[in-house]
Structure 1
């Protein structure tokens, strides 16, 4: 009996010692990580200096925080973020509002920030984008800048082609395309290798033809893709192709490689968000104009895309206290305005200074005076799986526009499968 008890006590003693070592190691590790704040950011090369300047200001104001930032290419980021959130995420990630945020919130992968919205005054300062940052009555996102979408255009090429004014209607746009083709300039550049750029075309054609109410019903999976109104979007798009409005080999270009096409004067226009203004050299910006997507049906109220970029705290983040400090800092009117200015975006904080950049001013006024509603964007208003299939179909349509009926039938089969779930 004594021998048995000795063996048991010896085993317990060794176990206790082992537990003490593990506990000490865990405590030391936690202490070491307590001041480390890991942040993953989706950023193009020309956006990183703006991010870094804001992060440097945060570090100066919070010297006790060891801030570690990883910049990741946008397309790779989209693929990787789901894996981070589900397994071992950083403490803060950049992302998109609307359905893209809700997709992860409803899976329990994001921290509830409702208390931060109340405590830090965001309910007032970010009232216009609160809805896009909310899922199931709670806020999960800290808004940054947002984009207005429209046409960038080269003023000198318009003048050379004899285009007297910015196109106000679709007929005006087609007429401008014909004049540009006549002087050997490709009318509209398209970075179709990034499928979301085609989604901007789908959004605007649908918003101008069918209106925002129909568009949101389609985004919610409540309208068949075989509906004649959806087909009209694609047949209108095809008519622009038939009139040679788009550049050649568009599927070979992504957003990072398309800017030289406009800078060199090989193309005259491009439908894109205001953030794209950062792609133009400073000495060229005075020669670049910006106008809203033209009217197609005068009876349809003008709606716009105004996607919001955000910061999120993953539910499994290790340093949520410092993550909240960073978000509170980034959401101040001064930093929100600074970020928007550096990215060529619009500040979403209503106490931030209005933009002074000419293109951003046009975008600001466009969204401020929009009567038909503001959509987030095709792949931000829709369930991810459906959005991915839709954008894949758009690339196939762009490659072969004769396949409209086949593509719409396939998308309808996909819609029924996804939304039946």
Structure 2
């Protein structure tokens, strides 16, 4: 083969290879892979519905969703993010998001927040979506935590209005007890229900900024502010305001205290409303956890579900387009209804259910920040030890100092601070 002919063949080969690469690139650019964690058929169905609507709006994008059961998803996610990553994943905000952002595995979405006006519509969840001042999450839904109560039992005890302050709350507990009604049901066998009490007492006494430092292992458990959370909690226990032997009951076995009129209140997330018996539902009310210190900006627990673009995603352009599509008021409301939650978008239509409506307004108007809940705001190992400590405290409230000293040793070991 002559030199000239070799050059022509080589040029043709390179041109063909270049054309094929360009074709592969354009095909790849039009394929959007999305991995979704779900619990139950209804959750999968609502995500499929949203993806179908996106396809109609963007017919040029070939969407390939994969639906994975939530428990399996948790195990598989680290592998996806470090190898062949999908273009979009759903996950949780707070520490669980920061864990991957810290390792460079989630794309910085700060530009999307500015461009799409999310700083306003998702103002209450911005802090939980951020790591080191940058946003790595697009919030979808969350749910509210607050005090469920029996309206008829309040009336029976002569309580005319929901308590707004801690003093009013303590006064109502006193009235309920005098009327022969246990003020508060708690499911201490499920340690996470105790964590809800810790979160709210800490948020109301010390605020979310302090709470997040504690969750990040930056504050000693022997700090006087942490002890104040436990001493405030102890006052409720010493006054006999919780059901007896609360460590014997999990959530399923504690709720009947409320349903049967044996206890008047329970601190819990709005996800329990679907389990209320029809006969009791009209008597159930819901109010914001009372304000203890008016000087502390009011923060709430509102665990947030979110969407993320992995750093190793291949089709980031369409991934950003998909996030912008989902982060709208109508899609937010659609997801919230299908997932049994609340839309994180403050401009979404209010939910119809009365308790969900109260929860939506509490979270949408929160100025002091949204915490993700105790075991989502810190590392799993510390959360497990912390909740074990809460059960030890409930078992013997006089052992506050011992429990906190033990937790401080654990904090030093885990965080090496």
TM range (shorter): 0.7 to 0.9
Q: After superposition, where does 1:201-220 map in structure 2 within 5 Å?
A: 201-220=197-216
Give the alignment's Cα RMSD to 1 decimal.
Answer: 3.8
Residue matched to 1:276: 272
Structure-1-length-normalised TM-score: 0.75
Task: Measure, in 1, the Cα distance between the counterparts of 2:249 and 2:75.
Answer: 20
Task: Measure, in 1, the Cα distance between the counterparts of 2:245 and 2:86.
Answer: 39
SS in structure 2 of the partner of residue 398 of structure 1 = helix
1:40 paired with 2:37, answer: yes
| Offset of residue 179 of structure 1 | 4.5
Structure 1: gaps spanning 5 or more residues: 1-26
Q: Quick check: 334-343 or 279-288, which moved more?
A: 279-288
1:72 paired with 2:65, answer: no
Structure 2: gaps spanning 5 or more residues: 1-23, 57-61
| Offset of residue 353 of structure 1 | 1.9
Q: Quick check: 199-208 or 300-309, which moved more?
A: 300-309
Task: Measure, in 2, the Cα distance between the counterparts of 1:81 and 1:405.
Answer: 39
Distance 1:49 1:268, change over 3 A: farther
Task: Measure, in 2, the Cα distance between the counterparts of 1:329 and 1:284.
Answer: 39
Task: Measure, in 1, the Cα distance between the counterparts of 2:269 and 2:415.
Answer: 30
Aligned pair partner of 1:352 in 339, 345, 348: 348
| Offset of residue 101 of structure 1 | 0.7
Residue matched to 2:287: 291
Q: After superposition, where does 1:62-101 map in structure 2 within 5 Å?
A: 62=55, 65-72=63-70, 85=81, 92-101=88-97
Residue matched to 1:55: 48
Q: After superposition, where does 1:217-256 map in structure 2 within 5 Å?
A: 217-255=213-251
Q: After superposition, where does 1:156-171 map in structure 2 within 5 Å?
A: 156-171=152-167
Distance 1:169 1:136, change over 3 A: closer
SS in structure 2 of the partner of residue 277 of structure 1 = helix
| Offset of residue 332 of structure 1 | 2.5
Task: Measure, in 2, the Cα distance between the counterparts of 1:173 and 1:254.
Answer: 24
Distance 1:164 1:115, change over 3 A: closer
Contact residue 32 and residue 64 of structure 2 kept, 8 A? yes
Task: Measure, in 1, the Cα distance between the counterparts of 2:86 and 2:162.
Answer: 46
| Offset of residue 335 of structure 1 | 1.4
Residue matched to 1:132: 128
1:94-117 Cα offsets, whole Å, 9 max, x none, are: 432122210121123334445554
| Offset of residue 362 of structure 1 | 2.7
Aligned pair partner of 2:188 in 180, 192, 195: 192
| Offset of residue 84 of structure 1 | 6.3
Distance 1:229 1:138, change over 3 A: closer
Structure-2-length-normalised TM-score: 0.76
Distance 1:369 1:92, change over 3 A: closer
Residue matched to 1:17: none
Task: Measure, in 1, the Cα distance between the counterparts of 2:229 and 2:85.
Answer: 40
Task: Measure, in 2, the Cα distance between the counterparts of 1:269 and 1:362.
Answer: 16
Contact residue 39 and residue 91 of structure 1 kept, 8 A? no
SS in structure 2 of the partner of residue 62 of structure 1 = helix
| Offset of residue 53 of structure 1 | 2.5
